[in-house]
Structure formats: structure tokens, C-alpha cells
Structure 1
Amino acid sequence: MSRQEVTAEQVASAADGLQRDGTRVTIEAVSALLDGASVNAVHKHLTAWRARNAKPAAAPKLDIPEPIAVALGKWAQQLAEEAGVGARDALAQSEEDMEVLLKSGEQFEAEREELLAQVAGLTAERDEALATLVERGEEIDQLQAELRNARHIATDALVGKAKDQLAIEGKDSQLADLRAQIERNVAAAAALSDARLKAEMELVGAVTARDSFAAEIKELRAKLASRSGEARRAE
């Protein structure tokens, strides 16, 4: 049964059933019969039911001879005391119900604090991921600039060495230097390209982590709002 649907009639019916069965009428017993209905809602209606079913006894006032009046007075006092047992039991039951309500409120507060702590933790992790994302973005920009510069250097070196090669054609030693320089430039360009690829992969991972943290924070906030709404409705 939904916690919002419990009514005074349902609580009264459940309480009457427990009373007919000779079972103590408690908040927990009524809530169990109503499929775990809110203890706060059950307490409100159960208090009204107990007030309607209370049977206080009053000692009668008799105009009879004193000895008989004294005897009857003692009997009436004893009857009133015996009737007061029910009132004392009802008071004790009310105190027990209050303890149940307090425990329920403490449990809800603990769950609320835990959710708030989780939200705070995820928010910190999200901020850290965002900071890492910004840092990775700056590194990628720097690597891209270095890659462009390396490409210009490699191109200039190739053109310059080609010109030198034409000028010194036939000189094996100079030709070997030219080839070595070109290989170094190509290797440098490849290293920069690998670094750029690695940085881009880290950026993708950081973006994925950020989205995951954002989804978890949204879910936790929704749970927290739902818990707060239940608490307000239960009040």
C-alpha cells in the first residue's frame, strides 16, 4: 500500500481487527497489516481511534446510608482504579508509539545525512574531473602547437636538405647527414603525434567520467528530494 493512500477508515479497520484477535494494537502492528504504511500517518489516525474507543469509568454518586455508601465508595474506587488500568495501558502504548516515531525520524535523518555526504563527495569528484579536463585541454592545445611547429621544421629541413643535396650531389657523407636529419625530424613528428593521440584519449575518458558523476549526482539529488517530500507528507 502506498504511504500516501492510508486513511483513517483503514487504520480503524486494522485496529478493530487486532483488538478482536486479542492482539496489542500498536503502530507497528497496524502498519504491518497495511503493507508497511507510514508510521506517522498510522499514528495520527490510531490516536483518534484510541480516543473513540477509550472507556473511562466514573464513580457513581449515591444517596444511601453512610455504611453502605462507604462500602460502595470503596467498591467504586476499586472499579475506577481497575478502569484506570486501561488508561495507563493506553498511555504506555502512546509512549511506545512515540518511541517508534522517534526511531523512524532518526533513521530518516541518518539516511538523509548519508545522501548529503554522497552528493558532496560526488560533487568534489566532479569538480576534480572538470579541473583535470581543463588541464588536459591545455596540454592538447600545447601539443597541437608543437606538432604544427615540428611539421614546419620538418618541411623546411626537407626543402633545405634537398637543396643541399642538389648542391653537393656525389658527396656521400653529406648525403648521409641529410638522411639522418630527415629521419630525426620524422621521428620527432611521430612522437608528437603519439602524444597528441594519448592526450585526446585521456580527454575522452575525463569527459565520460564527468558525465557519469553528473548522472550520479542527479540521481542522488532526486532520492534526497523524494525522501524530503516523504518526510513533509508524513508530518
Structure 2
Amino acid sequence: MTTDSSSQDITYDEVAAAAAKLKKAGTPVTLDALVEELDGASPSAIGRHLRAWRAEHEQPAEPAPVELPAALAAELAKWARQHAEEAGAGPREAMARLERDMDELIEAGSRLEADLDSANSARYAAQAAAEERSEEIERLNAELRNARQVAMDALVNKAKDQLAIDGKDAQLADLRTQLERSVAAQAAQSDARLAAEMELVGATTARDSLAAELKDVQAQLAQAKSDRGALRMELDALRKKAK
């Protein structure tokens, strides 16, 4: 036994040496055994050093493995599977809904792509049709300008023809007046000459001369009528041309 130890000077090394001695002797290292071995030492001081010694030299014993009975293990496995199935039913259903939603989204995306392709094709066709229509409108505008120019030229030519016809009418009227004056003058001259001749050569000579002169006047009148007919035909032709 160790003697002359007190609670004031007990050290860890003293407690550790006493514990090692007990352990070597096969005696369990307990607080009571150490208090007895370290006679006169304070149990509280020994207890503090004993906790430090155990933490350093003793490891907690591993618990003995627990073996379940086969029937209990089977029931636990059955319960675990059932619990897993019940617990996974919700996530599986949610996953199935997500997959269905994903399929619907993919299908909707495909439809949108098809609609977009169709819309693009329609837009391209509309642009091509608009370009063709623009070219057609430009061509029609050019033809309209040409037609207007042709119509304007026709109106100008018609106006010129009308002026020419009006000039011909004036010329015919002037010729008619001159012809009438010429016939009247010739008739007056014939009458005067006839009167003079009748007075000079007698009634018979005057009658023959008058007859001859009358034929001459008639021939001149016929020629004047022929000229007037020719002028009228020319005037009619000009009028028909103007129409």
C-alpha cells in the first residue's frame, strides 16, 4: 500500500501507477479499489485522475451484435417493402404526371414548330405573290400610260382632221359663192350680148347665137356642178376619215 498521500498532493501519475498495478493484478480498476490502494487520498481527486486514465488507456467495449429472429427479420423486410411501395407511390405518380406533361409539352412544341413552318411558308408565298403583283401593277401602269399617250395622240390627230375638214368646208363655200357669181355674171353678159345681137342681126340670128351661147353656159354649169360634186365627195371622205 502507498502511504503518506494526501488529497492535496495526489497526482495523475500516482493514480495511473495504482491503476496499472490493479490492472496487472487482474483487479478491476474502480474508484473504491484506487481509494483503498492510495490510502488517505481524496476520492474526488482520484476520480478526476481516474477519468483521464480511462480515457487514455481503456476503450469502450463494442456492443455485442444483435441478431434478429428470421421470422421477425422477414416481417421487417415485408414491412419495409410495403412502406417503400406506399411511400414511393406518390413520387411515382408525380413522376408519371411529369412524364405525361413533358410528352404533352414536346407534342405542343412539335405542333408549334409545324405551325411556324406553315406560317413561314405562307409568308414567303405572300411575299412572292406581292412581288409578282407589284410587277404586274407596274406593267399595267406602263400600259396605261402608253394607252393614254395613244389616246391623246388620236385626239390631237382628230382635232387636226376636224380643222382640215372645217377648212375644206370654208373652201367649198367660197367656191360655191364664186361659181354662183361667175354663172350670174356670165348669164348677164350673155343676156346683154344676146340683146345686142338681136338688135343687130335680127331675131333669127340672135336666137341661134342665143342657143349656142346657152349650150356653152349649160356646159360651164355642168362642169361647175361636176366640180362641186367632186368637192362634196372629197368632203364626205374627209368626214368619214375623221369619224
**TM bracket (short chain):** 0.3 to 0.5
Give the structure-2-normalised TM-score.
Answer: 0.43
Structure with more contact order per residue of length (Cα contacts < 8 Å, sep ≥ 6): 1
Larger radius of gyration: 2
Give the structure-1-normalised TM-score.
Answer: 0.45
